A and B are shown apart, each in its own frame.
Chain A
Amino acid sequence: MNQVNRLAKGGRIDRGRPLTFSFNGQTCHGYTGDTLASALLANGVDIVNRSFKYSRPRGIVAAGAEEPNAIMQLGATEATQVPNVRATQQALFDGLCARSTNPHSGLLSTIGELFSPMIPPGFYYKTFMAPASMWMTYEKLIRKAAGLGRSPREIDPDHYEHSKQHCDVLVIGAGPAGLAAALAAGRSGARVILCDEQEELGGSLLCSREMLDGKQASVWVAAVVAELAGMDNVLLLPRTTANGLHDHQFVTLYERRTEHLGDRAPEVNGQQLARACMYHVRAAQIVLATGAHERPLVYAKNDVPGNLLAGAVSTYIRRYGVVPGKRLVVSTCHDDGYRAALDWAEAGHEVVAIVDARERADGHWIEMARAQGLNIIMGSAVIEAKGKNRVTGARIASIDVARFQTTGPASELSCDTIASSGGFSPVVHLSSHTNSRPVWREDILGFVPAELPGLTPVGGACGVYALGDVLKGGAEAGAEAAIGCGDTSASIDLPDVERLKTGEALGLYQVPHEKPTLRAPKQFVDLQNDVTAAAIELATREGFEAIEHVKRYTALGFGTDQGKLGNINGMAIAARCLNQTIADTGTTIFRPNYTPVGFGAIAGRHRRDLFDPERYTALHEWHRARGAKFEDVGQWKRPWYFPSNNEETMHDAVVRECRAVREKVGMLDASTLGKIDIQGKDVREFLGRIYTNGWEKLAVGKARYGLMCKDDGMVMDDGVTTCLADNHFLMTTTTGGAARVLEWLELWHQTEWPELDVSFTSVTDHWATMVITGPEARRLLAEVTDIDLDRDSFRFMDWRVGMVAGVPARVYRISFTGELSYEVNVQAHYAMHVCKTLFQHGDKYGLTPYGTETMHVLRAEKGFIIVGQETDGSVTPEDLGMQWCVGYNKPFSWIGKRSLTRPDTCREDRKQMVGLKPLDEMVVLQEGAQIVFDPQQPIPMTMVGHVTSSYYSPTLNHGFALALVKGGQKRIGERVYCPMTGGVTHAAEIVSPIFYDPKGERQNV
């Protein structure tokens, strides 16, 4: 396509560097410096999208972040797809490939037209309300028609960065106010960050008609930017959107580092650049210099392509050298609306008329327009646009704003472009992200940010529009924010600005039509969500009077748009319908994100193998070399099982590992268990209060199993604690519970019993633990240790210090398998050496490494619980049948004791732990399977418990399970049933949870 709308000269584009891009498959041309939107307009593209709900053709309306229609899907390849990019914010690059998110498909447009009468306002609200069953049907239709882009189906080849920043002053927005603020703060020596969402810093000054120091404003911008760039204490971030503002001046900045350069992030010196960066900024002070969005007027068919914001028309002409049409009608109610007409005329195109709703006006721009002989029609407004795919005319009429009616017959002007301006709305979005409600100011006809600590709005963001005042306010706020950070004497000389004569603005939002709102052609308020003035009127008629209800009823300001163009008009219309003021009506809360943020930037470097920490034991490499399959336990990677030759099935490996432990000897890496070193005079007393069982009499040299409850009497953790010396104990916890238990101990010590002399230190990572277990354990260990392993002197639940494989070690006789076991603990640096030495000696004894799966089978055969598997936070020690581990008569109460006497915890029919033996010995019940007493009962059946652990036992040669069953401990011998999906029902007998060696003889050999 040719650049039919491009001017021969002017603008900040580089005509010497032409670019080629594609839009919906069509080849187009533009220049370096263009946005995708300015290039599309230059190429004469009228229709850029179809609307969300009614599938109406839509064109470009704005020139910045507030653009509601030109929402694009970018990406030349599947992997580089980016949805929801505003064409007005996307810099043009060579080869850019853009598509409409809701393209010109005849089918979709037919659906939209067809369904238009069936999708009344409140459609979403009503489909959510009733009937629920229909929602599934609506949802598919809505999602298909919604057209807000799609995610890539392939892995994103680019990478993204995070950076945590701290500063004294964060200036958001680099227009006149922001530049002045950053300069004042920067010169004082404060740490300053200045960010702006656009390609270039400068904001409105880049295309302003006004002069600074008698020169083009862009000259001043260049000088200020150069000075700021030279300051070490200032970080300049163009192409960076402040997308969210949170409590305590925490702001997220989304910097698009390479999206102006190409489809993929380019390589520089062999390094691929990060595509985008998310800055997490903590600022002492924020200067909010986000400017103002121009407010369109709401008139009939104001969505036909060719209806633009007046300010956007000026921007396209002055900044990009593009005139988006031939014949212009301007509709406005304040002085600034005239600028578009002046720019249009200066570009050599025809201004058909300026229609001003005010009765009279005599400001600077009006006088200039008069002097140029432009046709000005007062007391009137454009009440309706003509045309379908492009504006063909404007119907204008004289209006009475106060009475909201037309006062004379309408006449039609032939034109192809209508520029409207109802005034400006301060960009207050960020200020309301922390839930503070903006405040209406009648004098500026706009909402301004509520007062917030650490936040100073300046310039347009607080309704100050005269350029001289904007610069002054920005400089003062910047200096003020930097107080206490450095040299306070630094000041800046502001450039001279001619003060322009301005007339009073008129508050006009919706333009009255000859027909009532509900009968007039659609008057759009929110173009992105297809919300009309009629919808808002209907909402108020149906009783939705609170503005938050109106929003949800109509979808006004939803989604990625967040009400940038439509919200204030919407509030004004609601206020008119409810016969109240805008101040009374209030505004909804704008939410993060200000504009959409890519998921990649949110993830940063936390992706693939860095997505989450992987914790390794000191033996991790040994496990890998042995071909271990790993299981995630919390963040730990634990060996799950060790298939031989890497081809054995899990079942076969587990059978082999189980047999090795029961018949010969196995080795388990138990280093992940939490270990807490506890020292002090009062450790015994402390343990007695934390654990359910008694610790008074535990002798030095002995270890004991302990059960820990929360204050609700439910089991929270378990483990073996050893008395190393009278004032020195070592507690072990579950792998997943280590951090939680340490916090729990500190909590009770620091808040309830500070008088006890105890202190806790995590030594989980310090010690590596190797469990040597099985009938041959003693003979194997004896080969590598100087410790006397005699069964009568080093007994079950004793510990010893000595050398193991030449390394100083603590060895505990603790057993989680039921077999003769030694747990060898060495400083982790030596774990690999000890492990290798054990295996050098272990072959003749059949030493076999085993993983967590075999550990689970072996412990379950013994009826040993796993906290988090047999328990779920609703299981007491008594439910587990562990009354033997509860000290009911300890002198000092312990955590959870009182809760065990509550009527509910004493109920006889509580779910209690039992063993289950399936009648079919080859069946392994599913963990989590529900249990019933009566398999014939019709659905819904009475569920009486569930299977908590279930395995095949190679030792017993049948499947077996642990389960929680109502009143189970008195039902030994009874039959229960597990009805499975698919209609099969498994029968099982309730048995003791101890399946193997019930007397515990094997661990004592």
Chain B
Amino acid sequence: MSNVAIFEQRAADTIAAESPLHYSLHRHAVSAQGADPKEGSAVAMDERAFLGHLIVRGTAGVLRAAIKQVVGIALPETACGLNVEGGKSIQWLSPDEWLVILPPGEEFATENALRQALGDNAYAVVNVSGGQTVLTLSGPSAHEVLMKSTPCDVHPHAFPVGRGVSTVFAKTTVLLRRPDAKHWELVIRRSFADYLYRWLLDAGEEYGITTKHTENKDNNNE
């Protein structure tokens, strides 16, 4: 919908920014901040901080072409679909709601371009970058940690690569996604981030869980 009041909300790089897990990582880090996580650890946890997060609402018919044109990824139109490409992703959240995750700093330009492409149709785009963060879990025991935490079936048959769901996790909710065969992603809300982080450390202790914090744009493309 046009006729909205949006503005670039990201400050200059010189301004100190703190991700939702900034203090959690300092307080409870298992491997020293900046150091590489322990080689061969059965579970590794990595925050992908400061990415651009946009909620896009509308019907698939309205959004399909514009999303493809602006984001460069097809809109996943089946339930729980997740399309990932070139450091960007789009996740189906509900029949008229998607989450677009972008490299840091691209959210405002993308929102503007989407609004340009969508014109006067009925839709909404909302920047929620400050309110959530992405946590990746990897390693051979990652799915054991997930099984302690969520009633969602994370067996590879039931949860293939390219699936993303909104589900109960410990006593809160997360978006749980499988962008590739090696990683699980949790999109978590800022206010619940410390709780979830402590939960994961506790649940992952027996597997020697390690932590890491990634702010570098390039790391999102690995």
A364 at the interface (CB under 8 A from B): no
Of A618, A672, A761, A830, which is within 8 A of B11 by CB?
A830
B4 and A725 contacting across the interface, CB-CB below 8 Å: yes
Of A271, A700, A768, which is within 8 A of B205 by CB?
A271
B11 and A763 contacting across the interface, CB-CB below 8 Å: no
Interface 1/0 per residue, B1-26 and A, CB below 8 Å: 11111011111101111111001000
A605 and B203 contacting across the interface, CB-CB below 8 Å: yes
Residues on B with C-beta less than 8 A from A807 are: 11, 15
A166 and B194 contacting across the interface, CB-CB below 8 Å: no
Residues on A with C-beta less than 8 A from B18 are: 618, 829-833
Of A191, A604, A680, A763, which is within 8 A of B128 by CB?
A763
Q: How far is the CA of A801 from the CA of B1 in the complex (A)?
A: 20
Residues on A with C-beta less than 8 A from B50 are: 829
B189 and A610 contacting across the interface, CB-CB below 8 Å: no
Q: How far is the CA of A281 from the CA of B210 in the complex (A)?
A: 29
Residue of A with least CB distance to B23: A621
Of B10, B122, B151, which is within 8 A of A680 by CB?
B122
Residue of B with least CB distance to A730: B5
**Which of B105-142 touch A at CB < 8 Å?**
122-132
Residues on B with C-beta less than 8 A from A828 are: 20, 130-131, 190
Stretch in A79-87, A156-164, A328-336, A646-654 with 4+ CB within 8 Å of B: A156-164
Residues on B with C-beta less than 8 A from A700 are: 5
Q: A164-B147, A833-B16 are in contact. Are A761 and B1 (CB under 8 A)?
A: no
A808 and B7 contacting across the interface, CB-CB below 8 Å: yes
A728 at the interface (CB under 8 A from B): yes
B130 and A808 contacting across the interface, CB-CB below 8 Å: no
Q: A681-B122, A806-B11 are in contact. Are A727 and B130 (CB under 8 A)?
A: no
B199 and A616 contacting across the interface, CB-CB below 8 Å: no
Residues on B with C-beta less than 8 A from A615 are: 191-192, 195
Interface 1/0 per residue, A128-172 and B, CB below 8 Å: 000000000000000000000000000000000111111000000
Residues on B with C-beta less than 8 A from A767 are: 130-131
A920 at the interface (CB under 8 A from B): no
Residues on A with C-beta less than 8 A from B212 are: none
Q: How far is the CA of A162 from the CA of B202 in the complex (A)?
A: 12
Residues on A with C-beta less than 8 A from B15 are: 806-807, 830, 833
A350 at the interface (CB under 8 A from B): no
Residue of B with least CB distance to A799: B5
Q: A161-B148, A616-B194 are in contact. Are A833 and B17 (CB under 8 A)?
A: yes
Residues on A with C-beta less than 8 A from B57 are: 679, 759, 761
B195 and A765 contacting across the interface, CB-CB below 8 Å: no
Q: What is the interface residue range for chain A against chain B?
A: 35 or more
A829 and B17 contacting across the interface, CB-CB below 8 Å: yes
Which of B122, B127, B192, B203 has most A Cβ within 10 Å?
A: B122
Residues on B with C-beta less than 8 A from A827 are: 9-11, 129-130
B172 and A166 contacting across the interface, CB-CB below 8 Å: no
Residues on A with C-beta less than 8 A from B193 are: 616
B170 at the interface (CB under 8 A from A): yes
A763 and B126 contacting across the interface, CB-CB below 8 Å: yes
B85 at the interface (CB under 8 A from A): no
A613 and B170 contacting across the interface, CB-CB below 8 Å: yes
A-B CB contacts (within 8 Å), total count: 168
A808 and B11 contacting across the interface, CB-CB below 8 Å: yes
Q: A606-B171, A726-B3 are in contact. Are A166 and B11 (CB under 8 A)?
A: no
Of B4, B130, B191, which is within 8 A of A636 by CB?
B191
Main secondary structure of the interface of A (DSSP, over half): mixed
Q: With both chains docked as a complex, state the minimum distance between the C-beta of A170 and any C-beta of chain B, in angstroms.
A: 14
Q: With both chains docked as a complex, state the minimum distance between the C-beta of B158 and any C-beta of chain A, in angstroms.
A: 7
Q: With both chains docked as a complex, state the minimum distance between the C-beta of B135 and any C-beta of chain A, in angstroms.
A: 15
B147 and A165 contacting across the interface, CB-CB below 8 Å: yes
Q: A166-B155, A613-B192, A828-B130 are in contact. Are A679 and B4 (CB under 8 A)?
A: yes
Q: How far is the CA of A610 from the CA of B204 in the complex (A)?
A: 14
B166 at the interface (CB under 8 A from A): no
Residues on B with C-beta less than 8 A from A726 are: 3
Q: How far is the CA of A725 from the CA of B2 in the complex (A)?
A: 9
Residue of A with least CB distance to B153: A166
Q: How far is the CA of A615 from the CA of B122 in the complex (A)?
A: 34
Which of B17, B96, B123, B152 has most A Cβ within 10 Å?
A: B17
A677 and B126 contacting across the interface, CB-CB below 8 Å: yes
A613 and B3 contacting across the interface, CB-CB below 8 Å: no
Residues on B with C-beta less than 8 A from A908 are: none
Of A612, A618, A727, A764, which is within 8 A of B1 by CB?
A727
Of A605, A610, A763, which is within 8 A of B131 by CB?
A763
Residue of B with least CB distance to A675: B131
Q: A724-B4, A827-B130 are in contact. Are A166 and B158 (CB under 8 A)?
A: yes
A766 at the interface (CB under 8 A from B): yes
B180 at the interface (CB under 8 A from A): no
**Which of B68-99 touch A at CB < 8 Å?**
96
B55 at the interface (CB under 8 A from A): yes
A612 and B171 contacting across the interface, CB-CB below 8 Å: yes
A617 at the interface (CB under 8 A from B): yes
Q: How far is the CA of A828 from the CA of B194 in the complex (A)?
A: 15
A280 at the interface (CB under 8 A from B): yes
A613 and B12 contacting across the interface, CB-CB below 8 Å: no
A788 at the interface (CB under 8 A from B): no
Q: How far is the CA of A341 from the CA of B189 in the complex (A)?
A: 68
Residue of B with least CB distance to A607: B202
Q: How far is the CA of A727 from the CA of B5 in the complex (A)?
A: 9
Residues on A with C-beta less than 8 A from B203 are: 605
A548 at the interface (CB under 8 A from B): no
A614 at the interface (CB under 8 A from B): yes
Q: With both chains docked as a complex, state the minimum distance between the C-beta of A158 and any C-beta of chain B, in angstroms.
A: 14
Residues on A with C-beta less than 8 A from B220 are: none
Q: How far is the CA of A492 from the CA of B20 in the complex (A)?
A: 55
Q: With both chains docked as a complex, state the minimum distance between the C-beta of B163 and any C-beta of chain A, in angstroms.
A: 14
Q: With both chains docked as a complex, state the minimum distance between the C-beta of B188 and any C-beta of chain A, in angstroms.
A: 10
A429 at the interface (CB under 8 A from B): no
The 5 tightest CB contacts between A and B, nearest first, are: A765-B131, A766-B131, A827-B130, A728-B4, A724-B5
Other A-B pairs, 17, CB within 8 Å; known A164-B151, A766-B128: A604-B148, A610-B195, A621-B23, A679-B125, A680-B124, A725-B3, A725-B4, A727-B2, A727-B4, A728-B4, A764-B191, A765-B131, A766-B129, A808-B7, A829-B19, A830-B15, A831-B18
Task: Give the interface of A toward B (CB within 8 A).
Answer: 161-166, 191, 271, 280, 282, 604-606, 609-610, 612-618, 620-621, 636, 672, 677, 679-681, 700, 724-728, 757, 759, 761-768, 801, 806-808, 826-833
Q: Enumerate 9 A-B pairs (CB-CB under 8 Å) in ascending A order.
A: A164-B148, A166-B158, A616-B191, A620-B23, A759-B123, A763-B128, A829-B18, A830-B16, A833-B16
